[in-house]
Amino acid sequence: MSSFKVALVAMDDDEVPDCVYKSFADAGIEFVQEECVTASELSRVAADADLVWIFGGGSIVSAETIPLLKNCGAIIRTGSGTDNIPVGEATALGIVVANTPGAHDDEVSDHAIGLMFALIRKIALHDRKLRSGVWEIEGPMPNHHVVGQTLGLVGFGHIARLVAKKMRGFEMTILCSDPFVSSEEMSANGVESATLDTVMSRSDFVSLHSPLTSDTHHLIGKRELDLMKPDGVLINTSRGSVVDEAALVQVLMEKKIAGVGLDVFEEEPASPDNPLLKLDNVVVTPHTAGQSDLSHEKQWRLSVETAISFSKGRWPRSYVNRGVNPRWELSYG
């Protein structure tokens, strides 16, 4: 491509690092950055951009505004989830939707495992009690063990594969439900392919790693939760709406499952009145699973590398709309 323009139109961070400007300048790429809140702002900043970049949770690029991106051949969403991008509309227009799951893979997989241990060892509960002055040795004791138990994964992308790899040392049986991954590929990664119902019913611990799409909205509802063992534990570090939160509250209050670890909620920020925050068998964090001392630099670096790949006519390392017929001729390698 003789000239290439990148427009960063939504950003969670406070400022763009200097290295981003330098990398684009060295690659001969025109780079503009402006927080676009209205359709007219998006049109002014990005109508002529080859690539539009969303850093984080911005939603200015929607089904209604994407036709304004008349020159766009690619959208980058920094992070793994693309539920704030109109993937279907982009695909129909020949726009590749890329993401950067590698920026958070280790962090989110570590966090999912951490939530699981915080629950089953009752770390969070005893921490709260001890800080309130209660030294309760005879109180709620850990009533789970990990070695030899069954871990169920819903979704088998980058993060779920790392969870499986890291938990394999506990001699666990690992089941996984993912309609887009073959049983042969799962087996090669030491995981047994299973239906969603089997994962929910056989697993001692279930960890959710599905992207949020129209097909996965409330994928885990009352029916699926009722399949879980009474001492089963559910972990969600994917997206809040993958789980029917009202149904989750119900099964927890009825003690039909042992506990839940959540980094994500259907509505964020979570309301202080959310009943999940009032239950002792729930451990929560405020959508921070992807953060670490390394993640910030990786987010920027992988996004820039993805943009430069596009500028050179190459497919990116990761993209989500596999059936897209791109506006540009792209090669691998």
CA–CA distance, 152 with 201 (Å, rounded to integer): 9
Same domain, 117 and 29: no
85, 118: one domain? no
Q: What are phi and psi of 32, to 5 degrees?
A: -130, 150
Q: Catalytic annotation on 268?
A: yes
- Share above pLDDT 70 across residues of the chain, in percent, rounded to a whole number: 98
Residues 233, 245 within the same domain: yes
Return the pLDDT at 141.
67
Q: Does 134 map to a domain?
A: yes
In a domain, 316, yes or no: no
Distance between CA atoms of residues 193 and 156, nearest Å? 10
Question: Is there a single domain that holds both residue 118 and residue 64?
Answer: no
Is 193 among the domain residues?
Answer: yes
As a whole number of angstroms, the distance between CA 141 and CA 136 comes to: 10
In the chain, alpha helices (H):
18-26, 39-46, 87-92, 105-120, 123-131, 158-167, 183-188, 196-202, 222-226, 245-253, 295-311
Q: Of 136, 267, 268, 297, which residue is the catalytic one?
A: 268
CATH number at residue 53: 3.40.50.720
20 and 119 share a domain? Answer: no
Q: The tokens 């290295």 sit on which residue? A: 19
Phi, psi of 182 (to 5 degrees): -70, 155
pTM: 0.89
Instruction: For residues 158 and 269, state if they share a domain.
Output: yes
Q: Which residues of the chain have pLDDT under 50?
A: 1
Is 303 found in the same domain as 165?
no
User: Is residue 298 domain-shared with residue 274, that is, in the same domain?
Assistant: no
The C-alpha atoms of residue 265 and residue 40 are separated, in whole angstroms, by 31
Contact 292, 299 (CB under 8 A): no
Q: Which residue in the list 111, 161, 209, 239 is annotated as catalytic?
A: 239
List % helix, strand, coil for the chain (3-state, nearest 5).
35, 15, 45
Question: Are residues 118 and 68 part of one domain?
Answer: no
For residue 62, how many other CB atoms are within 10 A of its CB?
13
User: For residue 160, which phi and psi values (nearest 5 degrees)?
Assistant: -60, -35
Cα dihedral across residues 87, 193, 165, 286: positive or negative = positive
Largest CA distance in the chain: 72
Cis amide leading into 286 (omega within 30): no
Tell me if 233 is assigned to some domain.
yes
Asked if residue 317 is part of any domain, the answer here is: no
Give the residue numbers spanning the domain of 50.
Answer: 5-103+293-311
Residue 46's pLDDT is what?
98
CA distance 50 to 70: 9
Q: Do residue 260 and residue 125 come from a single domain?
A: yes
Total number of domains constituting the chain:
2
The reply to whether 183 falls in a domain is yes
- Are 117 and 247 in a shared domain? yes
Q: Is 287 designated active site?
A: yes
Q: Which of 111, 161, 202, 287 is catalytic?
A: 287
Are 52 and 61 in contact by the 8 Å Cβ rule? The answer is: yes
- Note whether residue 323 is domain-resident: no
Same structural domain, 134 and 268: yes
Query: Looking at the domain assignment, is residue 327 inside a domain?
Result: no
- Render pLDDT for 248-296 as a digit per residue (tens, 0 to 9): 999 999 999 999 999 999 999 999 999 999 999 999 999 999 999 999 9
According to the model, what pLDDT value does residue 137 have? 79
